[in-house]
Structure 1
């Protein structure tokens, strides 16, 4: 299974910290799976101009193709102005409308206060649904107070990250079994 972990911002440390912890847990619990961290701060991305994702080059092409090749995507996003950052929106704009068909997508969100917890429900999930993702219904919301010196210090958050990762992997496996069963109904 290919799992892409996307840190959807080019600034700040909290989302990257959360996504590094996500990668650590994935590699510890599921070493048999291929895990790649796509930290947008480490790539030079161009703005979407309407081309097909495979027509871009450099970092933009690499990030788009890595997401398109993944079986599961775990998106980490901070909350900027009660919405997702433009860097993450640009990723969605670079990809085709059916980019997440047959892909399982789960989310980790960081924010300064609890006032932003609905951003994921109202902003991110509709985009993912439009792009045909199998969305893991639960997500992990991490507040400012859950971090100290670039570490997650809230044990409940760490437990919820582990559970989200487990739910993501199990959902991919469940959908793969369903597709296999449906494919076996045909004689070709």
Structure 2
């Protein structure tokens, strides 16, 4: 199983801090999983111009190919101005409309205000649903007060991220078994 941890911003540190813990949790609790961290701050990405994702080269080609090859994606995003960052939206625009078909997508958000918890429900879930994802329904919302000096200080956040990882792995395995059983039912 391949999981991509997608840190969806090119600025700030909180989402990357949470994504680093997410990757650590996967490695420690699910050693059979191949995990790749993609922090959008580390790549020089082109803006989507409508081309097929296979036509992009360099960093952009690597990022979209890695996402397309994954079985599951864990998206971490900060909330800026009551919305997801443009860098994350650009990733969705680079991918085909059915990019998440047969993939599990889970997510968390880091935000400075409690009022932003609905951004995942009202913006992110509709986008990944439109792209045909199987969505892990629960998500993690991490507030400014849960961080201090670029570290998570709230133990409950660790627990919730561990649970999100577990739910992502279990749902990915479950959908894989369902697809295999359905394919085995065909007699050719």
Q: TM-score, normalised by structure 1?
A: 0.99
Partner of 1:27: 27
1:31 to partner: Cα distance: 1.2
Partner of 2:63: 63
2:54 aligned with 1:54, yes or no? yes
2:108 aligned with 1:80, yes or no? no
1:110 to partner: Cα distance: 0.3
3-state SS in 1 of match to 2:24: helix
More displaced stretch, 40-49 vs 25-34: 25-34
2:131 aligned with 1:131, yes or no? yes
1:124 to partner: Cα distance: 0.3
Counterparts of 1:79 and 1:123 in 2: how far apart (Å)?
11
2:12 aligned with 1:12, yes or no? yes
Cα deviation 1:24-74 (Å, max 9, x = unaligned):
111110111110000000000000000000100000000000000000000
* Equivalent residue pairs, number: 188
Counterparts of 2:145 and 2:158 in 1: how far apart (Å)?
14
3-state SS in 1 of match to 2:102: coil
Counterparts of 2:126 and 2:162 in 1: how far apart (Å)?
24
3-state SS in 2 of match to 1:169: helix
Counterparts of 1:185 and 1:30 in 2: how far apart (Å)?
30
Partner of 2:44: 44
Unaligned runs of at least 5 residues, structure 2 = none
Q: TM-score, normalised by structure 2?
A: 0.99
Partner of 2:121: 121
1:141 to partner: Cα distance: 0.3
1:7 to partner: Cα distance: 0.3
Q: CA RMSD for the aligned pairs?
A: 0.5
Partner of 1:150: 150
Partner of 2:101: 101
Counterparts of 2:123 and 2:80 in 1: how far apart (Å)?
12
1:175 to partner: Cα distance: 0.3
3-state SS in 2 of match to 1:106: strand
